[in-house]
């Protein structure tokens, strides 16, 4: 069977964003996300499919997969008022059926992505090793029990350098907001919160306990 590096990348807080801004805005955002993914992948790999707010990417080369995912994160960060991406990556044998990929490698990559927080790229040991060989920082987080995976899996956080500066997360819709461009700002229990719109600021003001951890 051929081997591929499979990456699942989605938008953290997408459900909250849909509730706050509506279905039409959410659909436009997903369409833009797929465009950004297509640009980041280029000729190095392929977008196997999009599933809701997630894209499934596949690459023959692990280093190129890391480059592409890093570029996708940078592209998302460069978009004003865009949610924060997160990703999970694994490399191994896959089964190709009519352009779609199946098998344990795909399943594990999806499970790894489910463990990621906004802004995080999580990878299995084989991908993390390639990241370190390429000069990227990859921190081992420990072994995790993943659903429907028989053995614990060692997960590593990969830093591709795609870190936004001066950005915060709107606590209502979970969209990334640049402080200088925020529509509103509120203080609650000695903490500052920035908002992408007056609607989100109003929702927070009416029930802050719903949005504050």
Confidence band, pLDDT 50/70/90 cuts, at residue 211:
confident
| Res 16 pLDDT > 70 | no
pLDDT tens digits, residue range 21-61? 677 888 888 999 999 999 999 999 999 999 988 999 999 99
Confidence band, pLDDT 50/70/90 cuts, at residue 194:
confident
Sequence spans of domains, the chain: 3-159, 167-210
Confidence band, pLDDT 50/70/90 cuts, at residue 63:
very high
User: What b/e readout covers 51-82, taking b as 16+ CB neighbours within 10 angstroms?
Assistant: eebbbbbbbeebbbbbbbbbbbbbbbbeeebb
Q: How many residues does the chain have?
A: 213
| Res 111 pLDDT > 80 | yes
Q: Are 105 and 90 in contact (CB under 8 A)?
A: yes
Confidence band, pLDDT 50/70/90 cuts, at residue 165:
low
- pTM score: 0.78
Q: How many CB atoms lie within 10 A of CB 124?
A: 22
| Res 164 pLDDT > 70 | no
Least confident of 45-49, 109-113, 201-205: 201-205
Calculate mean pLDDT across residues 87-106: 96
Confidence band, pLDDT 50/70/90 cuts, at residue 83:
confident
Confidence band, pLDDT 50/70/90 cuts, at residue 187:
confident
Q: Which residue has the tokens 């949610």?
A: 83
Calculate mean pLDDT across residues 61-85: 91
Q: Mean pLDDT across the chain, nearest whole number? A: 88
CATH architecture, domain 3-159: 2-Layer Sandwich (3.30)
Q: How far apart are CA 146 and CA 103, in angstroms?
A: 16
Calculate mean pLDDT across residues 170-183: 76
User: Which of 80, 65, 49 shows the shortest CA–CA distance to 178?
Assistant: 80
| Res 167 pLDDT > 80 | no
Residue 46 to residues 39, 63, 76, 98, 100, Cα–Cα distance (Å): 11, 14, 18, 14, 11
Q: Are 57 and 89 in contact (CB under 8 A)?
A: no
């Amino acid at each position: 069977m051929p081997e591929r590096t499979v990456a699942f990348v989605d938008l953290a807080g997408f459900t909250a964003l849909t509730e706050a801004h509506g279905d039409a805005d959410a659909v436009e955002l997903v369409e833009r996300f797929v465009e950004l993914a297509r640009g980041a992948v280029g000729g190095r790999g392929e977008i196997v499919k999009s599933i809701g707010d997630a894209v499934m990417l596949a690459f023959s080369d692990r280093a190129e997969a890391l480059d592409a995912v890093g570029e996708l994160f940078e592209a998302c960060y460069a978009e004003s008022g865009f949610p924060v991406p997160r990703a999970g990556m694994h490399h191994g044998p896959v089964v190709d059926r009519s352009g779609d990929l199946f098998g344990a490698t795909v399943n594990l990559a999806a499970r790894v992505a489910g463990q990621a927080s906004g802004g995080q790229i999580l990878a299995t040991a084989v991908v993390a090793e390639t990241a370190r060989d390429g000069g990227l920082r990859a921190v081992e987080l420990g072994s995790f029990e993943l659903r429907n995976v028989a053995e614990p899996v060692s997960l590593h956080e990969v830093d591709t350098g795609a870190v936004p500066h001066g950005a915060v997360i709107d606590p209502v819709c979970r969209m990334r907001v640049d402080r200088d461009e925020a529509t509103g700002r509120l203080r609650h229990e000695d903490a500052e919160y920035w908002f992408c719109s007056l609607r989100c600021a109003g929702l927070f003001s009416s029930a802050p306990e719903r949005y504050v951890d």
